[in-house]
Amino acid sequence: MNVNESAENYLETILILSQKRPVVRSVDIAEELGFKKSSVSVAMKNLREKNHITVTKEGFIYLTESGKEIAEMIYERHQLLTSWLIRLGVDADIAAEDACRIEHVISKESFEAIKKHVK
């Protein structure tokens, strides 16, 4: 399940958007992330080739099992790290930005220790 930070961000965004809308399209992802549609199209092609997403002929994007697993892992890290930093007194916007950076590089062992400590 080795994917880069960019792919993780795209998968997490697809997960979040799929919780808010009935379908997710490249244009929705581009709008959410503030990227050009052409950049998102290239990323979707790469995620499709790695079998992390499927795309219907109508352009609807769905996470596969592997894509969903990665997205959920990153999203859990993001939520927990953000709330932990806020509880430590960090401004909410800064906490969310820092959590977004940390979520991609923290080891599973360290994250689990923080998770255990926080809960």
CA–CA distance, 48 with 55 (Å, rounded to integer): 8
- Which tens digit of pLDDT belongs to each residue from 17-57? 999 999 999 999 999 999 999 999 999 999 999 999 999 99
Whether the pLDDT of residue 1 is over 60: the answer is: no
CATH no., domain 5-69: 1.10.10.10
CA–CA distance, 37 with 19 (Å, rounded to integer): 21
pLDDT of residue 102: 94
pLDDT of residue 62: 97
CA–CA distance, 30 with 90 (Å, rounded to integer): 29
pLDDT of residue 119: 78
Domain positions in the chain are 5-69, 72-118
- Which tens digit of pLDDT belongs to each residue from 65-91? 999 999 999 999 999 999 999 999 999
**Please, which residues bridge with residue 63 across strands?**
53
CA–CA distance, 38 with 76 (Å, rounded to integer): 29
Q: What is the mean pLDDT of residues 55-62?
A: 96
pLDDT band of 2, cuts 50, 70, 90: low
Q: From 1.10.60.10, 3.20.20.150, 1.20.1050.10, 1.20.1260.10, which CATH number describes the 72-118 domain?
A: 1.10.60.10
Residue 67: Cβ within 10 Å count:
24
CA–CA distance, 49 with 105 (Å, rounded to integer): 24
